[in-house]
């Protein structure tokens, strides 16, 4: 949210879209790109979402100049898949969050997975100097 607010402050004429709610995984990233901000795990919602996404992909104009996406992982190799959905032009490594870390051995393993987004950023990447894990991985970028 703070990234979107900062961009809006410095670039008030640009249309900026951001991930709705906590849409940061495989499904949420795709929903955010199509600006679909509602999802419920039931057959009717699936059909509705599939129809909306197809309609937007084929006929709708893009409603934004910049889209801010959050890449959230909770298992190994998930970042590689998220990057195939949307490869960022600008990457920001904020912090390692161990909330969903059951599939990882330790925070270092999470950091190794998270850094893949930064390594695959097209133009420029920013690291949080206050995050121990980000600083340990800066030589890999």
CA distances 39 to 1, 46, 61, 81, 86, Å, are 20, 8, 22, 20, 20
Q: Computed from CA positions of residues 45, 47, 50, 54, in that sequence, does the dihedral angle turn out positive or negative? A: negative
Q: Does residue 77 lie within any of the structural domains?
A: no
Indicate whether 7 and 61 sit together in one domain. yes
| Domain carrying residue 19 | 1-70
Q: Does residue 78 lie within any of the structural domains?
A: no
- Confidence at residue 14, expressed as pLDDT on a 0 to 100 scale: 95
- Confidence at residue 16, expressed as pLDDT on a 0 to 100 scale: 93
> Which ranges constitute the DSSP H helices of the chain?
2-10, 26-33, 43-59, 78-85, 107-119, 132-137
Residue 29: CB atoms within 10 A of its CB come to 20
CA distances 105 to 74, 108, 110, 115, 120, Å, are 12, 8, 8, 16, 23
Please state the domain count of the chain: 2
Q: Does residue 53 lie within any of the structural domains?
A: yes
pLDDT above 80 (res 139): no
pLDDT cut 90: percent of the chain above it: 55
Domain final position from 39, 70, 101? 70
- Confidence at residue 100, expressed as pLDDT on a 0 to 100 scale: 63
Confidence of residue 94 (pLDDT cuts 50, 70, 90): confident
User: What token pair was written down for 80?
Assistant: 């590689």
DSSP state of 24: -
Domain final position from 24, 43, 70? 70
Indicate whether 21 and 51 sit together in one domain. yes
Find the mean pLDDT for residues 114-132.
Answer: 90
Of the candidates 95, 78, 48, the one whose C-alpha atom is nearest the C-alpha of residue 36 is 48
Q: For 12-58, what is each residue's pLDDT tens digit? A: 999 999 987 889 999 999 999 999 988 999 999 999 999 999 999 99
Q: For 46-64, what is each residue's pLDDT tens digit? A: 999 999 999 999 998 888 9
The average confidence (pLDDT) of the chain is: 89
3-state SS, residue 125:
strand
């Amino acid at each position: 949210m703070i990234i979107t607010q900062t961009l809006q402050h410095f670039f008030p004429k640009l249309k900026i879209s951001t991930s709705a709610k906590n849409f940061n995984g495989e499904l949420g990233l795709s929903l955010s790109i199509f600006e679909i901000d509602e999802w419920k795990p039931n057959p009717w919602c699936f059909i509705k979402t599939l129809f909306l996404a197809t309609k937007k992909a084929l006929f709708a104009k893009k409603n934004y100049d910049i889209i801010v996406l959050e890449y959230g992982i909770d298992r190994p190799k998930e970042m590689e898949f998220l990057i195939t959905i949307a490869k960022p032009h600008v990457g920001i490594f904020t912090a390692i969050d161990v909330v969903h870390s059951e599939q990882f051995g330790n925070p270092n393993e999470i950091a190794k997975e998270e850094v893949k987004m930064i390594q695959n950023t097209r133009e420029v990447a920013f690291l949080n100097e206050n995050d121990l894990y980000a600083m340990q991985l800066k030589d890999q970028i």
